[in-house]
Structure 1
Amino acid sequence: MNQARTWIFLILATLFWAGNYVFGKYVVAELTPVWITFSRWVLSLFILLPIAIIVEKPDWKKVKESWLTLLLLGLLGIIGYNIILYTALGYTSPTNAALISAVNPGLIVLLSVFLLKESLTKIQITGLFVSLFGALIIITRGNLLGIFQMDYNRGDLLMIGAVIVWTFYSIIGKRISVPPITATAVSTFLAMVVLAPFAFWQGIDLAQVSSISIYGILYMCIFSSVCSFVFWNMSVRKVGASQAGIFLNLIPVFTALISMALGEAILTEQIIGGLLVFIGVYLTSGMLSNRVGHWKRKKEYSKGA
């Protein structure tokens, strides 16, 4: 896979994930978060499992040995994150949800320090605070002085919960040896086994489901669940997680552009907060530290020569 195709795949992956926020806002008006999650991922299984078997050719003995970890991944990343996300979209805008979720990379780095004993540089610590400050501007609508007095948007607070859940999912995912597409497919299967009784107990009135919701679920299944994940993992294998991670910053951008095209107004505090989140994530990811280190080594090499 050449470099240009890799960048295209990463752009498409983030574009499709952005669409999940926008479609989720429409679908949650007719379907409950439980049924959105259940229907989306059950359909995705019929595509993900064959792809995992053909592309990754997993060692099923190792998969079986990791079933408990895969179950935990399913409970967190498939059930927990998605249900909280779709519930949040019932109260906040897709743009706000995507902007707040952009804090995720920085939070993953922070918890990796405490749980995986990874180290942070001063630049990364600065970036973490900058991104959190940006998220705070988004959540408070720019009213930082009234932080303890205002009534917060329930959806924004739920998105913080979704970010925390996804952070733990990502950290646990780092420790598993099962190939990524296989891990997603198996954890999804286990999650759907757990979620099925709750979905059928809750019930669904198909007569109330419009064509928009059906198209939305199909989009989430084919593009957000399958295409994005396959494109992402193919690209990560080519350029590495650190370079690929930069493209995650495109999700809020694409979400805002799609939302604007559909008539949503973008507020000044969203733009300012979003920029701070992006800057913070850039610093926390270590990209600036790597560039500075590379520049210093190049300068020392030039002096030595």
Structure 2
Amino acid sequence: MENKNKNQSRNMYLLMLLVPLFWGGAFATAKHVITEVPPLIAATLRFGISGIILVIFTIIQKEWQWQVIRNRWKGLLFIGFVGIFGYNAFFFTALKYTSATNGALIIAALPVFTMLGAVIFGKEKWNNKAGTGLALSMIGVIIVIVKGSLSDLFSLAFNLGDLLFVGALLCGVIYALMGESMLKGIPVILSNTIMMLSGAVFLAISTVFEGGWSQVVSMSVQSWIEMFYMVVCGTLIGYVIFNKGVESIGGSKASLYLNLTPIVATLLAVIAYGSSITLIQIVGMVMVLVGVYIATNKTDQSNKARSKSVIENT
């Protein structure tokens, strides 16, 4: 049983690597899609289509459980409001007022605040190795984003868009911390279905004020292909794995994998668009990878050691 749990834990950590891979790709494709349709409409299409596909899937698989939905609808609705609507509404709106660099730097702090929140609210105990890995990872993210230029980092100016990114950050932290308890015991597919549908409804309501639905019919083939990628990889697969990770390894460890997203986005820009990459950025990427490894692997081992000690002393 112990070896089985160990293998499941290891598999979950490996599976979580797909999240930044898919979300990094979704970030790159979304940048083009929102040049043809307003951001909130793009987000509504992404999560609306994903939710409808999941509804069909859960019905075919006979996993649609009305009793579970009736008993847990408040929590599911809250997670959909915060994790889907809140995060995406703040994030995409913020891009209108500030640079992607500013936003990336702010969102990079999500694992830090998630871990601090987990410690403050008693969900986890502070671990020096995890803290070291987290700090190393965040420094690496900053290096990748600003390309190692201290002058670029210190010359950043903050505005309304940055405050909106802080709102997205808070939504992400709440989602990571509360999702673990609110989604526990609910089938992953079912929870994702309700979460995405409710989030899409909230997003659709917000588009009434933004307008621009007439632009959807004129979207290019490229944008629809990119939307398909965001729906299948960035949403259906990415969110399901992330929510399973939150449930299995905790919100703070799961959110740490988000620091890998800028690495994926940077590499995709190099491969797909011929962007350049510097040696200092490669160093930053290595720091992120090492930091994530330390914060997850070492912490997991120390927790197992403490659990083993407790068992032996009983």
Question: What is the TM-score with the length of structure 2 in the denominator?
Answer: 0.72
Partner of 1:198: 206
Equivalent position amino acid for 1:123 in 2 = K
| CA deviation after TM superposition for structure 1 residue 33, in Å | 1.7
CA-based RMSD of the aligned residues comes to 4.2
Alpha-carbon distance between aligned partners in 2 of 1:188 and 1:111, rounded to the nearest angstrom: 25
Alpha-carbon distance between aligned partners in 2 of 1:145 and 1:192, rounded to the nearest angstrom: 40
Pick the aligned partner of 2:190 from 166, 169, 182.
182
Alpha-carbon distance between aligned partners in 2 of 1:223 and 1:195, rounded to the nearest angstrom: 20
Matches within 5 A, 1:152-231: 161-176=167-182, 177=184, 178-204=186-212, 205-206=214-215, 209-230=219-240
How many pairs does the alignment contain? 292
Partner of 1:283: 294
Structure 1's unaligned 5+ residue stretches are: 299-305
Q: 1:235 to 1:138 in 2, by over 3 A?
A: closer
SS at match of 1:30: coil
| Segment drifting more, 273-282 vs 133-142 | 133-142
Partner of 2:116: 110
Q: 1:12 to 1:209 in 2, by over 3 A?
A: same
Partner of 1:266: 277
Alpha-carbon distance between aligned partners in 1 of 2:56 and 2:303, rounded to the nearest angstrom: 43
The answer as to whether partners of 1:104 and 1:163 remain within 8 angstroms in 2 is: yes
| CA deviation after TM superposition for structure 1 residue 119, in Å | 0.6
Alpha-carbon distance between aligned partners in 1 of 2:221 and 2:41, rounded to the nearest angstrom: 16
| CA deviation after TM superposition for structure 1 residue 68, in Å | 2.1
1:171-206 deviation per Cα after TM superposition (whole angstroms, max 9, x unaligned): 111111322221121122222333323223422232
The answer as to whether partners of 2:85 and 2:199 remain within 8 angstroms in 1 is: yes
Equivalent position amino acid for 2:49 in 1 = L
Alpha-carbon distance between aligned partners in 1 of 2:27 and 2:103, rounded to the nearest angstrom: 7
Equivalent position amino acid for 2:295 in 1 = T
Partner of 2:3: none
| CA deviation after TM superposition for structure 1 residue 75, in Å | 1.6
Alpha-carbon distance between aligned partners in 1 of 2:106 and 2:285, rounded to the nearest angstrom: 8
The answer as to whether partners of 2:259 and 2:288 remain within 8 angstroms in 1 is: no
Q: 1:162 to 1:234 in 2, by over 3 A?
A: closer
Alpha-carbon distance between aligned partners in 2 of 1:274 and 1:191, rounded to the nearest angstrom: 33
The answer as to whether partners of 2:192 and 2:240 remain within 8 angstroms in 1 is: no
Structure 2's unaligned 5+ residue stretches are: 1-6, 309-314
| CA deviation after TM superposition for structure 1 residue 37, in Å | 0.9
| Segment drifting more, 72-81 vs 13-22 | 13-22
1:249-290 deviation per Cα after TM superposition (whole angstroms, max 9, x unaligned): 6543332221102122335554444444444333333x2244
The answer as to whether partners of 1:88 and 1:155 remain within 8 angstroms in 2 is: yes
| CA deviation after TM superposition for structure 1 residue 49, in Å | 1.8
Q: Percent identity?
A: 30
| CA deviation after TM superposition for structure 1 residue 85, in Å | 3.5
| CA deviation after TM superposition for structure 1 residue 80, in Å | 1.9
Alpha-carbon distance between aligned partners in 1 of 2:102 and 2:74, rounded to the nearest angstrom: 34
